[in-house]
Amino acid sequence: MTTGPLSGLSFVEMAGIGPAPFAAMVLADLGATGVRIESPVPHFPLLSAQFDITRRGRPALQLNLHEEADLATARDLIAGADLVIEGYRPGVMERLGLGPADCFARNPKLVFGRVTGWGQEGPFALRAGHDLDFIAAAGVLAHLGRRGQPPTPPQNLVADYGGGAMLLLVGVLAALWETQRSGMGQVVDAAMVDGSALLTSMMRSLAAQGMWSPDVGVNILDSGAPFYDVYATADGKWLAVACLEASFFAEFVKVCGLETSWLERQYDPSCWDQLRMVIAEVIATRTQDSWAGVFAEIDACVAPVLTMAQAPLHPQLAYRETFVTIDGQVQPAPAPRFSRTPARLKSD
Residue positions annotated with a catalytic role: 130, 160
Contact call for residues 197 and 138 (beta carbons, < 8 A):
yes
CA atoms within 13 A on the CB side of 52: 19
Which residues make beta-bridge pairs with 331? 324
**Rounded Cα–Cα distance for residues 277 and 226 (Å):** 9
The end-to-end CA distance of the chain, in Å, is 12
**Rounded Cα–Cα distance for residues 302 and 291 (Å):** 9
What is the rounded (10 degree) CA torsion for 253, 254, 256, 260? 50
Residue 336, preceding bond cis, omega within 30 degrees?
yes
Contact call for residues 280 and 231 (beta carbons, < 8 A):
yes
Closest by alpha carbon to 16, among 157, 96, 115, 95? 115
**Rounded Cα–Cα distance for residues 241 and 261 (Å):** 19
Other Cβ atoms less than 10 A from the Cβ of 26: the count is 20
**Rounded Cα–Cα distance for residues 309 and 295 (Å):** 21
DSSP 218: -
SS (H, E, C) 264-292: HHCCCHHHHHHHHHHHHHHHCCCCHHHHH
